[in-house]
Structure 1
Amino acid sequence: MTSRVTFITPAMSPSMRRARFDDGDPIDEGGAARARAAAGSLRQGGRVLVSPSVRCRQTAVALGLDASGEQAPAGGDMGRWRGLTLDEVAAAEPEGVARWLADPGAAPHGGESVRDVCARVAGWLDAALRVDGRVLAVVEPDVVRAAVVHVVGAAEAAFWRLDVPPLTATEVSGRAGRWNLRLGTPLGPYEADTGH
């Protein structure tokens, strides 16, 4: 039995452009146009899941995806930092930001720590490993980071070392309790797997 999960990150939004912790804003017109241009480039079949954020839902619609009732994992809960830019938070709470970036268990914003997000996503992936078939999941970049940390068995501190661009695909496939990883494929015309 082989499970395959393709994570798609949302198209560009004003929050992403300004390094603002998600405040529920929609994708911008340029991001929507890129997603519409990529529609049809994703392998079809299997379940389509979407994180609850506005930008993930709008990206799925722009990609022409018909999501099932089940949701993909949500992005991390940023507590009282939600809606603020990283620069704003760093100016107001420099020690909190430094602790959050250095300690995966820290949650100075009152939301989820990186460790919490990694554990939640790992649990979701482990459950997916027990289901044969393909899943396409439109998710926030931090969900992709957490999935990669889990799949490669990296320390949680590696979370911040992973760049996840908008509107890219990260693929994992698993069987017999083990995952394999294919990172950051740009969305566009489908290219056959070359085996590399």
Structure 2
Amino acid sequence: MWSSPAKRCRETCAALGVSPVIQPDLWEQSFGAWEGLAPDQICDLGPLSTEALAAHCPPEGESFLQMAARVRPMLEAASGTTLIVAHAGTVRAALAMVVGPAALSFSVAPLSLSVLDGTVGSWSIGSVNWTG
């Protein structure tokens, strides 16, 4: 059982009654200078392809591709059944191991469950955004 160090993730683990190993690499994408800003305070990027959006880096932050590259080794290190409590971006990074930047098109609800099956280099998506 792994968790992002974010307070909301640790609180979710506590509500589940589990004690996770905290993994800093599971942290959400850094939006740098955009952190905490209302959507109308962020410049409009205009229409971008999925690939361009995935590569776009907010000022002082990291792109989705950079975040996915940070998260991927952690996900690939998982063995057997591993429960991970993390962020929507982290879920999309896992999905990107199967579908690439198109993972940005997935909606990920709070407290939802997504399942990937397989091994390194041979992942498949079992479910996404299951809320029971």
Whole-Å Cα distance in 2 between the matches of residues 176 and 117 of structure 1? Answer: 18
TM-superposed deviation, 1:71: 4.9
Structure with the larger RCO, 1 or 2 (CA within 8 Å, 6+ apart): 1
Amino acid aligned to 2:30: D
| Cα pair 2:30 2:61 within 8 Å, conserved | yes
| Cα pair 1:100 1:108 within 8 Å, conserved | no
- The number of aligned residues is 130
Task: Determine whether 1:170 maps to 2:114.
Answer: yes
Task: Determine whether 1:80 maps to 2:33.
Answer: yes
Match of 1:144 in 2: 91
Amino acid aligned to 1:148: L
Match of 1:65 in 2: 18
2:73 is aligned, of 111, 114, 123, to 123
TM-superposed deviation, 1:174: 1.7
Whole-Å Cα distance in 1 between the matches of residues 55 and 120 of structure 2? Answer: 30
Unaligned runs of 5+ in 1: 1-47, 188-196
Question: Where does 1:28-43 land on structure 2 (aligned, <5 Å)?
Answer: none
Match of 1:8 in 2: none
Task: Determine whether 1:103 maps to 2:50.
Answer: no
Task: Determine whether 1:185 maps to 2:123.
Answer: no
Task: Determine whether 1:155 maps to 2:100.
Answer: yes
The structure with the larger Rg is 1
Give percent identity, aligned residues only: 31
CA RMSD of aligned residues (A): 2.4
